[in-house]
Amino acid sequence: MSQLYDRVALIGLGLIAGSMALAMKRAGLAGEIVGTARSGETRDIALARGLCDQVFDTAADAVAGADLVVLAVPVGAMASVAAEIGPHLQAGATVTDVGSVKRAVIDAVAPHIPDGVIFIPGHPLAGTEQSGPDAGFAELFDGRYTLLIDEGVEAEPLERLATLWRGMGAHVDVMDADHHDLVLAVTSHSPHLIAYTMVGVADDLSRVTDSEVIKYSAAGFRDFTRIAASDPVMWRDVFLNNKDATLEILGRFTEELFALQRAIRTGDGDMLHDYFTRTRAIRRGIVEAGQDTGAPDFGRGPKP
């Protein structure tokens, strides 16, 4: 695939931005990749790993001359970063982000985007429990979805950004911000909160059972702990900034949980069987869509 942007500026150099840099380099999508991060150590690692051709001390310096700017910072930091870079964005540039919440990001960033600069919010649905500049890898987006938010932008810059994501291996869908936030409350935000809660309950229990919860975690608890190991700053900001949708889904989850409690209490095996059959079909659909593997033990295989 040919080069799509002359100069890409990455603001924040963690897992997502680092993976974007490596994926763009893999496919030759950018002429030059520059970046910045708050931590000097992070900037040094990013430069040493070859994530960026140049690394700058400030976001204002990093965006100078860039025709694509990617905001890869926690949602709570979006407003201050946008205010810093706004006066330094060149006319015709595109600004995008990779935040897990979209309406709050639009409210935080859009007021700082000057006339002649295009803002296209985005969200790659890919990640691991790892974070930082060492965590990125070029294949992170392969076969995964990236959601772009159309707030009335022209077709050409939107398609150009979509083409970039496809070049990095992703499938691309376009939707509005409020629908995105509701969908992600179901597929990501609420599951993370439930995982954090389950691990917290188990932590309390482990004090009583002499850490047996940790010793015998291979059954299902291990998978909760993987999700609950995600970046705490990012997830704090997600829940504070997608409050309404998350609370709506958690309310529905509570109702479902009460129904299951009632079925267990009353010995309603038919209800439990029908419920688990329906949810098992959803799992099969995820595997068939290529968003996970159906291999035994979730593809982990035996330990070496």
Mean pLDDT calculated for residue range 167-179: 95
What pLDDT was estimated at residue 203?
73
Together in a domain, 75 and 23:
yes
For 98-229, list the strands marked E by DSSP.
118-120, 122-124, 145-149, 171-175
Hey, which of 3-12, 147-156, 232-241 has the most confident mean pLDDT? 3-12
Express each pLDDT in 190-239 by its tens digit: 887 888 887 777 777 766 665 666 666 666 777 777 777 777 887 788 88
What pLDDT was estimated at residue 130?
76
The overall average pLDDT reported for the chain is 87
Taking the model in full, what pTM does it have?
A: 0.81
Burial 104-139 (b: 16+ CB within 10 A, else e): bbbebbeebbeeebbbbbbbbbbbeeebbbbbbebe
Higher pLDDT, 232 or 294: 232
Q: Supply the CATH number for residue 77's domain.
A: 3.40.50.720
Indicate the residue among 121, 146, 175 that finishes a domain: 175
61: pLDDT strictly greater than 70: yes
Together in a domain, 23 and 160:
yes
Q: Supply the CATH number for residue 211's domain.
A: 1.10.3660.10
295: pLDDT strictly greater than 80: no
- Is residue 226 classed as helix, strand or coil in its secondary structure? helix
What pLDDT was estimated at residue 209?
63
Together in a domain, 128 and 198:
no
pLDDT band at 302 (very low <50, low <70, confident <90, very high): very low
On whether residue 304 sits in a domain, the answer given is no
Together in a domain, 148 and 164:
yes
How far is the C-alpha of 24 from the C-alpha of 6, rounded, in Å? 12
On whether residue 299 sits in a domain, the answer given is no
On whether residue 298 sits in a domain, the answer given is no
Mean pLDDT calculated for residue range 228-257: 84
**In this structure, what token pair is assigned to residue 298?**
């979730």
pLDDT band at 38 (very low <50, low <70, confident <90, very high): confident
On whether residue 161 sits in a domain, the answer given is yes
Express each pLDDT in 283-292 by its tens digit: 777 667 766 6
**In this structure, what token pair is assigned to residue 38?**
């708050």
187: pLDDT strictly greater than 70: yes
Together in a domain, 222 and 255:
yes
Together in a domain, 169 and 184:
no
Reading phi first (left if > 0) and then psi (alpha if -120 to 50, else beta), residue 143 is in left
pLDDT band at 131 (very low <50, low <70, confident <90, very high): confident
pLDDT band at 304 (very low <50, low <70, confident <90, very high): very low
Identify the domain containing residue 84 by its residue range. 5-175
On whether residue 290 sits in a domain, the answer given is no
On whether residue 168 sits in a domain, the answer given is yes
Together in a domain, 157 and 187:
no
On whether residue 132 sits in a domain, the answer given is yes
Together in a domain, 48 and 149:
yes
> For the chain, how many structural domains are there in total?
2
What pLDDT was estimated at residue 229?
75
